[in-house]
Chains A and B, each alone.
Chain A
Amino acid sequence: MRWRPLLLALGTVALTVALPDLGLGAEDTGGPAPTPTAADYPRIAGVTGRPVVWALAQMHLFLAAFVLAVPMFVVAIELTGVLTGDDRYDRMAHEFMKISMAAYAFTALTGGALALALFVFYPVLMGYLLRVFDGQVLIYALLFILESFFLYLYYYTWNALRYGDRKWIHLSIGVLLNAVGTTLMFVANSWATFMMAPSGVDEVGTPLGSVWAAMQGPLWNPLNLHRFLANIAYGGAIVGAYAAYRFLATDRPEERAHYDWMGYTANFIAILGFLPLPFAGYWLMAEIYAYSQQMGITAMGGVLAWLFIIQAVLIGSILLAANYYLWCGLMRTEGGRRFVPWVKYIAVVLVAGFLVWVTPRTLILTPQEVLAMGGTGHPLLGPLGIMPAKNTAVNLMLLATFLSFQLFRRASRTPTVPWAWIGNCVIAALYLVAAINIVAAGIYGYITPTVYKVGASVPQVVSTLSVIVFVLLIEAFMYRGAVARPIAWGRMSSRSQYALFVLPVAFTWLMALMGYIRSSIRTYWHVYTIMKDRSPDAYIPTIGEVGNYITVITLVFMAVIVFIFWLSQIGETRQAAPAAETGR
């Protein structure tokens, strides 16, 4: 415990330096936000700021999301291992952590590069933001040091603190690591949300003296929740790909069994984080509308609206891939086979929902085509293009995915409670009524004016959540003392593993896309309504350009992650001693 006084001292110093700026006193606020001119945006070797900062920020966010998410579910898995006494959990948790460790250095590296690029290319903006957030930077630095400290401590004490009371100390370190990591992300988020919806400053941007007020913008908490959930889904998807690759690369049955199980767990984590994500996204969007209707419409009904069609395609493919993987998994158990006939109905719902979702509201049409169709909206398909139809579709798709997941869980267990059949009736009725309710709310939304359409989606969301909550609740009681059936881990087709590659590819692309939208709805403002972007990059590029650039970033990230996987694998291999070789 030598480090404790050191840490305490460090913390005290940082707090004393920062406190005066965190809401107390602070007289000198330095006046309104500066107005940059075109000359304030350097061009280095013909390259302007946006492409550089965009790529670095995205790369940093990919890695940071991964590095922050992994310890979260690792602690959960480690705890499961302790509670069940099953050593496999502990081994898997440790393996997850190993991948994350290799990624941590890259995260810090891209973070530093991003900060450098921001100060080089956007000196005026960064100067202003530093003025607004002032002492918070020290807190951020302190958190970063703590994060590194706990991360290394957590990883390297894994085997030293393995059993008994010591294991609980290790788990506590893991919890602390996550607390610091989450706080770190929240602090970083406040800069992004300040630029979207500034708070804690007057209308010309003069800081009012409280950093806390600047952090607490209307979008801060929605973004915090959204990123928190998305990180978990993303982290799960990436380790899923790692497991899938190891599964495909080996022929040894026990390794196959291990990586099949690891892939299943990772997919489970990804879906668990993913299911509530649309609701967090809904909250974020509702807050954006409440803050500025103009901003909301720019995103959902203006120049960026088409990007949400791409989002639909990506989410659709994620849901299809995840479901496909679960369906393949039904074959691992004897009990699963009886559910196979159901799969086709779930598939119909998913595909139908997917098609509704990608139906565009309006298309670029020739005048003849408009004439032939009798308007810019198709008489039959047109209604499918608007929001209520899409909300209905996504909620039904989520229900279907949850049903797949539920079937999979049931495949390996048989309930022994006598009232199991009643429980089944109640659950079946719940699905039916919830589905009808979702469709009815969709119809309500369709026939009311636009302002009520958003309101009508709330009952839909609550219906889906109700199903998830009630089914989990009922099944928790129903499967008490259930007979477990053996699961044949490793009995999985190779084809099913490719679904686990679709997930990270789609997630990575999707994350870059949504991040771009979040950033772009500020349009030509650095800090919305306060500081204009006067750089030559202040325009919103075409969808094709955006897509191409996102693909390039994704490719680079994939290369980095493959390298990280390779690093964590090379650590296991040991070169045979030369003497042993010549001896043969």
Chain B
Amino acid sequence: MAARALVFLLALLSWVVYFYAVDWLLMTAQGLPVGWNLMPLS
């Protein structure tokens, strides 16, 4: 059970990194105003 939870968390983390990178690339490539948290800059 613990191993299962650990793997799940690890996977979760990697996907977060993946989607963060993809979002960052896509948003900046389109010239959208984004901050580090991917939310719009005021």
Contact = CB atoms under 8 A, between A and B. Distances in A.
A and B physically associate:
yes
Interface of A: 421-422, 425-426, 428-430, 432-434, 437, 440-441, 444, 447-448, 452, 455-456, 458-459, 462-463, 466
B11 A466 contact: no
A437 B19 contact: yes
Contact of B7 (A425, A433, A434, A441): A425
Interface residues of B, number: 22
B39 interface: yes
A425 B4 contact: yes
Contacts of B16: 433
Interface string B1-16: 0001001100110111
A459 B21 CA distance: 11
B15 A455 contact: no
B interface majority secondary structure: helix
Contacts of A463: 19, 22
Contact of A429 (B15, B23, B34, B38): B15
B32 A448 contact: yes
A434 B30 CA distance: 20
Contacts of A459: 19, 22-23, 26-27
B19 A422 contact: no
28 contacts: A421-B4, A421-B7, A422-B7, A425-B4, A425-B8, A426-B7, A426-B11, A429-B8, A429-B14, A430-B11, A432-B12, A433-B12, A433-B15, A433-B18, A434-B19, A437-B19, A441-B23, A444-B39, A448-B32, A448-B40, A452-B40, A456-B32, A458-B26, A458-B30, A459-B23, A463-B19, A466-B19, A466-B22
Nearest to B8: A425
Nearest to B31: A455
A430 B15 contact: yes
Contact of B32 (A428, A434, A447, A455): A455
A447 B7 contact: no
B38 A425 contact: no
Contact of A444 (B7, B11, B15, B38): B38
Contacts of B18: 433, 466
Nearest to A431: B15
